[in-house]
Amino acid sequence: MSGRRYLIFSDLHLCDIEDHADGWKRYKSSRYVFDPQFSEIVDDFVQDGDGYELTLILNGDILDFDLITSVPDPAPFSVTRRERKNGLFATEEKSIYRLEQILDAHPVFVDTLTRFVGRGHRLVYVMGNHDMDVFFSGVQQRFVGFMRSRADELEVEIDAAKIIFESWFYYVPGEIYVEHGQQYDYYSSFRFVLRPIVTIDGEERLAIPMGNLANRQLMSQMGYFNPHAGDFLMNFVSYMMHWLKFYAFSRRSLLFNWFFGSLYVLLHLLRTKEKYRRPANYDDLLAEKARTYGLTLDQVRSIERLQRPPITDFVFRILREFWLDRMLVAGLMVVGTIALALLSIPLWIKLMVPLTAFPLMFVLYESIASGSTVSGEAKALPRYAHELAKWLPVQVVAFGHTHTPQLVPLARNLSFVNSGTWAPMWARGGEELLPGFRNYIVVTAPDEGRVIAQLDSWQTPAGHPLPLERPQNPLRARSTAHDAHRLPTPTEDAPGHHDPVQYDVERPAQPGPVHAAATNHGEVVR
């Protein structure tokens, strides 16, 4: 056989390692290091790829710069008090330090990439919202430098031309389109993804989206939550129970870190928006992207128009996500109660208005103000994949970002695949942290025949069936997987591969934009 094969990972969320006896930041524990499993999958991909041109695609959030809070001592650069508490700002020099902390903790990961490229194969790094620090050229050079430092001992030679860094997407005409997916989530999107830089206090910094800035400034000090899950999105009663369980009888603070961290994030985002103007050469960057992949400028601009604007365009949503709006409403109610107490009015009014009218007003406010949330913004990726295919001749669109593995045929010659995550997840009940599903995608594009998209998983934690989005009408699709509810569930001590979910996608007779309607879970997608 001849053709091309692609191995796609996303959302590994590699970071430094911290082990704490009290469970603080347990998602960074050495227990969840999975480098050997990653290495085995890549080695299997190479062994099975005889005759194919092989490409390994790291599709965003591979390295999690947000989770690095350590500071060098002594530091070769200036460090503020906030940086010492929450982690360094995202300048090029400081992002290089973060990169070194991550890769030093994962030598097997570095060796795996080094061997792969050293065998003459291509490595593509598509950046996501947690690792856009890789945009800095110095970070890219240091990344390659780590591989070069291992090349001699591994007896391979690194060709830097085989390593591609993309801040937006990777595309092979007629075959695949790979993008992390944060640009369709306004909590995580970058206003100018080809130039995600802003100048603050005379230095260039990464223009970090709200979600990631919250990770760096809030979640870093709320270590009993899992930043890879949505357990930090709770109601007031749940927050109180969480505080009583973890913080009430400890020296760690939740309330002050949340309040002052939220104010810092809000003010920083507003400040960044004021300074973050469209780069003068941005049209040139779009044109260069078009030339790179043989696209027209209109095609690239059409893809760009699908993106969601950053949440800094919606200040009220920021206030709401940090509960600052509820704090304001509660404060107004307290002021109103005091004002009523000072007025010369009947006692029953002074009591009944705070006890009945104010709670009713709060419930009414919540019903009016409720809207999209962090957890709900990024779940429409199949629809965006379908829109992308209107402008590009492509058969497989691969995203990550949502941490939800999916394989969904969108049309007769178009499939959407989401590579899930390798980050640890909560067991049912939220008491125990388990290894992630460790998903990956293999796309095979032979010179003649059909393009095949496969979604597989290294292991499924006990008690958790693989959560695939399985279509009811697969449009001539062929699945080789077991029923999702009957999948074996190996334990952490005895992991194993499952049969992959596999669909054959017919190659169109002549490449061109896909306009056909498709059946997805029994519903027509137009």
DSSP annotation of 449: S
Q: Which helix (H) or strand (E) holds 399?
A: strand 396-399
pLDDT in tens, the chain (526 residues): 689 999 999 999 999 999 888 888 888 989 889 999 999 999 999 998 888 999 999 999 999 999 999 999 899 999 998 888 888 999 999 999 999 999 999 999 999 999 999 999 999 999 999 999 999 999 999 999 999 999 999 999 999 999 999 999 999 999 999 999 999 988 889 999 999 998 888 889 998 887 788 888 777 777 777 788 765 666 666 667 767 777 777 777 777 776 777 777 777 777 776 567 888 899 999 999 999 999 999 999 999 999 988 877 776 676 676 667 777 888 888 888 898 888 888 888 888 888 888 888 887 877 776 665 545 555 688 899 999 999 999 999 999 999 889 999 888 889 999 999 999 887 665 667 788 888 999 999 988 878 889 998 886 554 444 444 433 332 223 232 322 222 223 333 333 333 444 444 444 333 333 322 232 332 323 2
Measured CA to CA, the distance from residue 203 to residue 54 in angstroms comes to 39
Strands, E assignment, 401-517? 406-411, 414-418, 425-426, 433-434, 439-446, 451-457, 501-505
Q: Count CB atoms within 10 A of the CB of residue 17.
A: 17
Measured CA to CA, the distance from residue 481 to residue 381 in angstroms comes to 23
Looking at residue 505, its pLDDT comes to 43
Which of 26, 69, 126 has its CA nearest to residue 401? 126
Strands, E assignment, 183-313? 197-200, 203-206
Distance between start and end Cα atoms, the chain: 36
69, 220 Cβ separation under 8 angstroms: yes
The DSSP secondary structure of 228-264, one letter per residue, reads TSSTT---HHHHHHHHHHHTTTSS--SHHHHHHHHHH
User: Does the pTM of the predicted model rise above 0.75?
Assistant: yes
Q: Which two tokens stand for residue 15?
A: 């970071």
Which of 458, 526, 296 has its CA nearest to residue 391? 296
How does 264-299 read in b/e, with b if 16+ C-beta sit within 10 Å?
A: bbbebbeebbeebeeeeeeeebbbebbeeeebeeeb
The CA distances from residue 382 to 177, 379, 428, 522, in Å, are 13, 8, 27, 14
Domains of the chain listed by start with CATH number: 3-207+276-308+378-505 (3.60.21.10), 322-369 (no CATH)
Is omega for the bond preceding 74 within 30 degrees of 0, making it cis? yes
113, 160 Cβ separation under 8 angstroms: no
CB contact set of 219 (below 8 Å; sequence gap of 6+): 66, 225, 227, 232
